[in-house]
Structure 1
Amino acid sequence: MGFQKPSHTFTKIHLKALHTNRFNILFALSFTVFINMFSYAQELPNSGGEIPVEPKKEETNIQKDTTINLKPLIKGTTKVQDSSINDSIKPKPKFLKSKVKYKAKDYQTFNRKEQKLYLYNEAEVYYEDMEIKAGIIVIDYNKQEVYAGRIKDTAGVYTQLPIFKQGENVVEPDSIRFNYDTKKALIFNSRTEQNGMNIIAEKTKRINDTVYYMNRAKLTTSENLDDPEYYFLVRKGKFMSGENNKKVVTGLTNLFIYDVPTPIGLPFAFFPMSEKRTSGIIFPSFGEDNRRGYFIQNGGYYLALSDYFDLAILGDYYTNSSYGLRFESKYNVRYKFNGNFGFRYENLVTSERGFPDYSKSTIYNLRWAHNQDQKANPSSRFSASVNLGSSTYYQQSINQINLPNTQNNTLSSSISYSKTFDVEPQINYSITATHSQNTQTQQINMTLPTFQGSIGRIYPLAPKEGVKKGLIQNINVQYNLRAENRISTTDSLFFKPQMFDDARIGARHSIPVTTNFKIFKFFSVSANANFDETWTLNTIDRVFDAETNETITTDLTGFDAFRTYNFSTSLGTTLYGLFNFDKNNEGKKIQAIRHVMRPSISYNINPAFDNYYDTVEVVNADGDTASDIARQEYTRFEGGVFGAPNQTFSSSIGLSLSNNFEAKVKDRDTTATEPKKIILLNNLNFSTGYNVAGDSLKWSPLRMTGGTQLFKDKMAVNFGATLDPYALDNNNRRIDTYNINNNGSLFRLTTANMTVSYSLNSKGNESKSSNRDKGSRDRILSGGREDDLFGESQDFSDNQFGDEDEEEDEDVLSELYNFKIPWSLRLAYAVNYNNTQRQDEISSHSLMFSGDIEIAPRWSIGGSSSYDFKNNGFGLTQLRFSRDLLSWKMNFSWVPFGTYNSWNFFIGIKSNLLKDLKYEQRRKPDERL
């Protein structure tokens, strides 16, 4: 039915009132409705089959609704199918792909006419992985854009700068426009930090998640973004943020220092900002040596081989053809093991070819440290600490990092593996390779390897249940095995076949039987009987050659063995004494002194094993009569790994006494309820012995040792002395006469020694300087001291030896800086006295000292040196100056005199990203001057 409005062109029709028959109209409408209802109905056939329907083609030019298609169904059911599935016109995508969450503190207003949502004051919007926080945020639904900006406070200052975050990238601009459909954005005056690099750009265009175009951007590692002390100005640049490979590629770039341009620039630049370690070039240091010419040092290539280990290949080169190579590697597998490996080789050329002082030599050094995590395998453990090579390596090395190690006298190494079998009794074994090298005498002693095995204690007479008591029940048996392949050689034969010519191989089996018990409740008694069997593959034979009139010793190889046994017992107890000085609670400063004594007496008996000794007849040159023949005794086991059997019977008594002194003093803290304990002497020990079977000089010298801690444990004092009860004859040889009977004192002081170490600083706690840098670990691995009393490394460009970042003390940093000056001091004093043969001399007397002082904020000076009071001369002396330039650091090190006199100046950026931007000058003065 349709309705049409009459047109004004039609002829007017005059209406006339007509009579309406309501019954006829109602009947007509009912009939019409009945016909319309049944005109669309269809009766299903009796069979249950599906009536096929021919598909109906759609025509897009027909303006008719075809979204509903009726299809006959089976078994009287009706189903409606949506024909839009097959429609050629695709529906429009949703306006937003996910939900938008937003909130604001003051108000949230939606303008329907503009289709904009306004959020004001602490506004936040979250859409997919995007987060925007700002003072004001406007969402434009027509343009599909989000605008975020700042707002002014009551003082007219802009606050609540926008923070745009997507994934791991965070940008803090002045304002931002973001299209959430194309994901593109315009960012104005943005600030972002990428792995230590701060990027400040006037205008940034975001293309996608990984590409940003920047205009007039500043790249800096400074923490002060409002006024950075330096930056690289990038006119045009591109920032690419990959999954693990972030980088900035720029056009014309040059360095600005406090907004002042410098001539340091490049037409294009590349700044890697990877979160993971990446391979790259290590920029070298330059300098001059008057003996070897100009040089470059510590340059090379870094290889990030995997997440578990790396490799750095470094090299040095001098213009006189001297060169050096270094291979440094670190590895770490969490919960299993970690370590580092280094090999250094240097080819040294002195002077020029053709000159009389021309020389050429090679030196090397191998270092390896390996530590196993205790959780990796509780029953077995592998560890290594290796430091071996040329004895003169640290003294002759041309690399500056070795300065603190030039004072090392010993190189030592140890590689060991141990295994424990958790059975009853417990079984343990270990395999160890050791190395000890004297850099002065170039003597090297090695064991390749040492095997040690043991079986735990077995108590054959102990009860199955309960506690073991008495002499019999505490009897236990053990088994120990030690086998060695000992090598003694020199530096010139090291790692050559000749070094094994004098190798000594032997093994010792030991079965100790021990017991312990108490008598009179207060005395502890222990007894031990030990049986040893020694195996050896090296013996000797000695004969006298009448023609040459010499005794000839011949080395023999072959299995041989000897057996020994001994017995020992000891008796000891503990005595406590308390001297109370404040019995009446008068509040005296010293209230009591506590004295603990532990006396003990022991007895040892060692039989003589003469059956292992032979004699050789030596004839004098004057004749062959009986009086001219001398018999010399020897054993074929001389020079063995575990020595020779005892030839003389020994029966001796040992005496020892250890003491400990503590004091209780009144605490200065009035709120303390208990007195304060102070250690007066950690230990004061006396020991001597008496040889019962000896025919003379039965008493052994009395040995005294002691030590204590003073000044709140800041000073450690250790001392010792040897007192001899026997006198000397005119030839300074000990005689069987007591010194007191020779018009002397009761004891004769033969040797004495004392060492004092003191460490303090302005804060009153333990000084951090002794372990404030990572170079201390390198000094320990090289066999040196942990502290800096021997100096510090001069390689300031290598951050592994740089100072660790320390939090600044707010009390120290001040504009006036006149109330506290941080400082630290470390002292080491040693003196040795020798009077064994009436020398009455100080054999050695020296003082080592090191200190640092911060004369102004970020200005510090320090130094280390030593003085030999016996020879009246200074040892290795180093003066250090350091300036903290915020993002930069400046160091100057100077060795003013001596064999290693040199100076080194360095200025560079602290950050690892730009550590190659540096200036370094070092020079070694002419030693002939």
Structure 2
Amino acid sequence: MAFQKPSHTFTKIHLKALRTNNFKILFALSFTVFINTLSFSQDIPKKGKPLDRTVKDSVSTNVNDLLIPASEKTQDTIVKDSIKPKKELLENIVKYHANDYTRFSQKRQKLYLYNEARIDYGDMNITAGDITIDYNTNTVYAKGITDTINGYTQKPVFTQGTNVVEPDSIVFNTQSQKALIYNSKTEQGEGTVVSNITKKENDSVYFVKDAKYTTAENLEDPEYYIKLRKAKIVPGKKIVTGLANLFIYDVPTPLGLPFGFFPQSETHTSGVIIPTFGEQNDRGFFLQNGGYYFAISDYVDLAVLGDYYTNGSYGTRLESTYAKRYRFRGNVGFRYENLISSERGFPDYAKNTVYNLRWSHSQDSKANPSSRFSASVNLGSSTYYRSSVNQVNSGAFLNNTLSSSVSYSKTFSGEPQVNYSLTATHSQNTNTETINMTLPTFQGSVGRMYPFASKSGSKKGIFQNINLQYNVRGENQIQTTDSLFFKKEMFEEAKAGFQHTIPLATNFKLFKYFSASASTNFNEVWTFKTINRSYDTTEDETITEDVKGFDAFRTYNFSTSIGTTIYGMFNFEKEGQDKKIKAIRHVMRPSISYNINPSFDQYYDSYEGDEIIDADGTTTRDIIEYTRFENGVFGTPNKNFSSSMGISVSNNLEAKVRDRDSTATEAKKITLLNNLNFSTSYNFAGDSLQWSPVRMSGGTQLFQNKLSINFNATLDPYALDNNNKKIDKFNIDNGGSLFRLTSASMNASWSLQSKKADTKDKKKDSGIEENIRSGGRADDLFGVSEDFANQQIRGDEGKEEEDSGELYNYKIPWNLRVAYAVNYSNSARQNEISSHSLMFSGDIQLSPKWSIGGSSGYDLKNAGFTYTQLRFERDLLSWRMNFSWVPFSDRSSWNFFIGIKSSLLSDLKYEKRRQPDIQF
């Protein structure tokens, strides 16, 4: 546990500008005293028979009695035999072994074992260099061997059941099961107890005096330990101690307790979670992340946490993790915060209530191969990540969208195969606070069928490749806002419908080198609400009425395509020359498609609109066409006939170059262009602007795939008039170039690291997982998230231990990630760079124990740094220290933490942070 001096806490009260409520301060202090005095930590007392206080404690037993216990027997009231049976010397068979010699003294009734001696007696096992068994007193003496070369070797190892003790020497009584153990080191859970003298009362209780409890690996010189002046150890269950305090490198500290309890259970145990103390600028003093942990079972747990601030703000959260091997795993979290700024009556007083629900569930692939259930939920208040004061989630704060999906799918094997799925989705824009949901979406399909395929299974030709399938999709769409979320008003405007599609397709070879395909698609849409539109001449406005009831429309279309693949090889090799570039290979895939979409104007109606007066003074009414399916879920039927041709060309460039490895027998293949694609279309049925813009996209990877570049552009063949409107005239005929560049973009990402870099960082990985879970980026370019509540529950062990203990690393490992993005817009002659940014993040390991990292960026258009986070971490062997800092922006903050890695002593820590000054 970590304590803060009372003087550090209360001397600041008179300096605060805001008035704090004395009653609430006393309430917080009372809660703290209650936890530290009346709670049982992680040990729940068992109800049972009360203890007899008159029984003398076994600790007061004389040492001599331990070695030669007095024999007491109670005479039975019924004498069975006048001849008393002779008592055996030992109750169990003793098995022993030694390398050098095994000698038995008949006179002294002692057995001597020397050099790698071993004794097995019941569930007890002792190995040592020198062992003596005294049959008169039923005592076993074990010690090591001392010589002038190796010193003291073959120290005893005492094992009884699952408990293992490694002392310098041991005296054990086989009859009373008591022992005296000297200079022992005993593993208890995650820690080790180092004691000069240990008294073993029985096989389940030990008593120690002036012992050390530590989780350090170097037990000869531990960097810290808790000194136990008197303690009782129940292996595998608990350690109960009297006065204990913390020592750091044998230097005592004032951090101590009059009594202590260390649970040693190997299973999850319920217990109190100690809160974090601190102060926030505008909310006063606080207790954060305090509560109770419920170890419900081996498969599920629950943590109930709460926050309290002296200005009246409070928060609560529920965190649960569940898992079942080979079946599923997941976690659920709900957070609610009632935040108050300033004080009532001040002009800057504000009160805000925010909440957030997150649920993640994944099913093991081995659980059920034919069905699958998964969930990824992140919903709540749109301002949660901007207002919450108990986490620094950079990825979610910079993201404008929250999304959720819960789905179940089932597959029925057979011919044809049948699939169906149910999905509930949620999408929330945190800027506009609009929410779009589908509750639910149903999808079903019948697998592809080949009615004309031969019985042998091979499909050749246009007829044998004819196939069809059936798909159905049903949706119930809801659009609402934060203020109406899960209120009855949000369901009033819900829209529902079904869409049935039956695609019929085939493919075949044409002229040996061309691949052709043809398809037709039948589409039927069902809806349960349509509209009726009319014009009210009295009010001079258009009236739209909802018509409830089943209605449907049907459409169909036809498409065909033909394409081929062209290979080109440019060979640069010449006889007798070893050129660096051997050859360049160009793969080009051109294709042409044709699409027909008929007109379905039978689904359109018309009504008379506003009055129109022509040049002759004649008054008429405007005729407005509409379709009653305008507000449907799956769109509207096509009104205009369309007959269009699509043209596309994809390219791929590869090269063979001389390998730098002189032993390589073949040239090395590298990629010059992953793809370079061009596409456009021509509408035969259009009366103007028949050509669509040419869209170009491409990408490549350089420097052994460390640099990835992607780019795209839109080229319009038509010109603009003086009002920057597109006209039916080619740009080249209007005095311009062949194409007009209307938009372009490029993004690049570069990942670099030294040869010795080790990017494995558990804390960083958990922060990136938190980014993804909250809808942020899957990297650290926007920083690494910190969830203080989860750190309290789960703990954080930081980086793995390194073998090297050197303080300076002459080859400093490092890694760097750079992302560059630029967007250009010129659709209406604006000719501007709409966005231009550079983001970067990296880590440097100054030594095996020191590492620093950071994430930042620079807005090249607006000339300013973007969100910046700096991270510093020091591995202190059994301890971990880190410092994270957001130096500027509205969310400037910092967090300092130093604490023990072990989850058992995770409350032994010091944490201080400055949280952002959040305004509502």
Which TM-score bucket, shorter chain as reference?
A: 0.7 to 0.9
2:749 corresponds to 1:734? no
2:371 corresponds to 1:380? yes
Tell me if the contact between 1:773 and 1:803 (Cα under 8 Å) persists in the aligned partners: no
What is the CA–CA distance in structure 2 between the aligned matches of 1:787 and 1:793, rounded to whole Å? 11
Per-residue Cα deviation, 1:186-241 (whole angstroms, up to 9, x for no partner)? 10010011221111011001111110011111001111100111111111110012
Q: How does 1:132-531 map to 2 (within 5 A)?
A: 132-155=126-149, 157-241=151-235, 246-531=237-522
Per-residue Cα deviation, 1:895-927 (whole angstroms, up to 9, x for no partner)? 222111122221111110101011111224768
Tell me if the contact between 1:683 and 1:708 (Cα under 8 Å) persists in the aligned partners: yes
TM-score w.r.t. structure 2 length? 0.88
Deviation at 1:581, TM superposition (A): 2.1
Tell me if the contact between 2:761 and 2:799 (Cα under 8 Å) persists in the aligned partners: no
Per-residue Cα deviation, 1:361-410 (whole angstroms, up to 9, x for no partner)? 11111100111111111111111110011111101111134344211211
Q: How does 1:550-699 map to 2 (within 5 A)?
A: 550-584=541-575, 586-620=577-611, 628-699=620-691
Deviation at 1:868, TM superposition (A): 1.5
Q: Which residue is 1:52 aligned to? A: none
Q: How does 1:118-137 map to 2 (within 5 A)?
A: 118-137=112-131
Q: Which residue is 2:753 aligned to? A: 761
What amino acid does structure 1 have at the position aligned with 2:744?
A
Q: Which residue is 2:703 aligned to? A: 711
Distance 1:626 1:433, change over 3 A: farther
What is the CA–CA distance in structure 2 between the aligned matches of 1:410 and 1:528, rounded to whole Å? 38
2:860 corresponds to 1:869? yes
User: Which deviates further from its counterpart, 753-762 or 396-405?
Assistant: 396-405
What is the CA–CA distance in structure 1 between the aligned matches of 2:532 and 2:228, rounded to whole Å? 85
**Which residue, out of 780, 785, 798, partners 1:793?**
785
Percent of counterpart pairs with the same letter? 66
Tell me if the contact between 1:254 and 1:265 (Cα under 8 Å) persists in the aligned partners: yes
- What secondary structure is seen at the aligned counterpart in 2 of 1:774? helix
What is the CA–CA distance in structure 2 between the aligned matches of 1:253 and 1:641, rounded to whole Å? 69
Per-residue Cα deviation, 1:690-721 (whole angstroms, up to 9, x for no partner)? 11111111111111112222222222221111
Q: Which residue is 1:18 aligned to? A: none
Deviation at 1:814, TM superposition (A): 2.8
- What secondary structure is seen at the aligned counterpart in 2 of 1:620? strand
Per-residue Cα deviation, 1:444-479 (whole angstroms, up to 9, x for no partner)? 111111111111122221222241111111111211
Q: Which residue is 1:4 aligned to? A: none
Q: Which residue is 1:46 aligned to? A: none
What amino acid does structure 2 have at the position aligned with 1:737?
K
What is the CA–CA distance in structure 2 between the aligned matches of 1:99 and 1:775, rounded to whole Å? 57
Per-residue Cα deviation, 1:661-708 (whole angstroms, up to 9, x for no partner)? 222222222232332222222222211111111111111111111222
Q: Which residue is 1:65 aligned to? A: none
Q: Which residue is 1:9 aligned to? A: none
Tell me if the contact between 1:459 and 1:477 (Cα under 8 Å) persists in the aligned partners: yes
Tell me if the contact between 2:809 and 2:846 (Cα under 8 Å) persists in the aligned partners: no
What amino acid does structure 2 have at the position aligned with 1:696?
S
Q: Which residue is 2:46 aligned to? A: none
Greater Cα radius of gyration, structure 1 or 2: 1
Distance 1:654 1:552, change over 3 A: same
Tell me if the contact between 1:107 and 1:119 (Cα under 8 Å) persists in the aligned partners: yes
Distance 1:541 1:143, change over 3 A: same
Higher relative contact order (CA 8 A, sep 6+): 2
What is the CA–CA distance in structure 1 between the aligned matches of 2:712 and 2:178, rounded to whole Å? 79
Deviation at 1:503, TM superposition (A): 1.1
Distance 1:585 1:819, change over 3 A: farther
Deviation at 1:767, TM superposition (A): 4.0
Deviation at 1:105, TM superposition (A): 2.7
What amino acid does structure 2 have at the position aligned with 1:700?
S
Tell me if the contact between 1:774 and 1:802 (Cα under 8 Å) persists in the aligned partners: no
- What secondary structure is seen at the aligned counterpart in 1 of 2:458? coil
Deviation at 1:285, TM superposition (A): 1.6
What amino acid does structure 2 have at the position aligned with 1:221?
T
What is the CA–CA distance in structure 2 between the aligned matches of 1:394 and 1:724, rounded to whole Å? 42
What amino acid does structure 1 have at the position aligned with 2:596?
I
**Which residue, out of 891, 895, 899, partners 1:900?**
891
Distance 1:771 1:255, change over 3 A: closer
Q: How does 1:106-125 map to 2 (within 5 A)?
A: 106-125=100-119
Tell me if the contact between 2:196 and 2:211 (Cα under 8 Å) persists in the aligned partners: yes
What amino acid does structure 1 have at the position aligned with 2:799?
D
Tell me if the contact between 1:637 and 1:643 (Cα under 8 Å) persists in the aligned partners: yes
Distance 1:903 1:194, change over 3 A: same
Distance 1:612 1:601, change over 3 A: same
Deviation at 1:808, TM superposition (A): 1.6
Give ranges in structure 2 of 5+ residues lacking alignment: 1-78
What is the CA–CA distance in structure 2 between the aligned matches of 1:926 and 1:780, rounded to whole Å? 25
Per-residue Cα deviation, 1:325-363 (whole angstroms, up to 9, x for no partner)? 111100001111110001011111111001111111111
Tell me if the contact between 1:770 and 1:788 (Cα under 8 Å) persists in the aligned partners: no
- What secondary structure is seen at the aligned counterpart in 2 of 1:712? coil
**Which residue, out of 725, 733, 737, partners 2:717?**
725
- What secondary structure is seen at the aligned counterpart in 1 of 2:732? helix
What is the CA–CA distance in structure 2 between the aligned matches of 1:769 and 1:148, rounded to whole Å? 45
Deviation at 1:766, TM superposition (A): 7.9
Per-residue Cα deviation, 1:26-78 (whole angstroms, up to 9, x for no partner)? xxxxxxxxxxxxxxxxxxxxxxxxxxxxxxxxxxxxxxxxxxxxxxxxxxxxx
User: Which deviates further from its counterpart, 661-670 or 635-644?
Assistant: 661-670
Deviation at 1:658, TM superposition (A): 1.7
User: Which deviates further from its counterpart, 702-711 or 510-519?
Assistant: 702-711
**Which residue, out of 804, 814, 828, partners 2:806?**
814
Tell me if the contact between 1:482 and 1:508 (Cα under 8 Å) persists in the aligned partners: yes
Tell me if the contact between 1:771 and 1:786 (Cα under 8 Å) persists in the aligned partners: no
What is the CA–CA distance in structure 1 between the aligned matches of 2:443 and 2:457, rounded to whole Å? 33
What amino acid does structure 1 have at the position aligned with 2:606?
T
Distance 1:892 1:649, change over 3 A: same
RMSD (Å), alpha carbons: 2.1
Tell me if the contact between 1:774 and 1:804 (Cα under 8 Å) persists in the aligned partners: no
2:717 corresponds to 1:745? no
TM-score w.r.t. structure 1 length? 0.87
What is the CA–CA distance in structure 2 between the aligned matches of 1:685 and 1:408, rounded to whole Å? 31
- What secondary structure is seen at the aligned counterpart in 1 of 2:202? coil
Tell me if the contact between 2:763 and 2:798 (Cα under 8 Å) persists in the aligned partners: no
Q: Which residue is 2:838 aligned to? A: 847
2:773 corresponds to 1:781? yes
Tell me if the contact between 1:162 and 1:173 (Cα under 8 Å) persists in the aligned partners: yes
What amino acid does structure 2 have at the position aligned with 1:655?
I
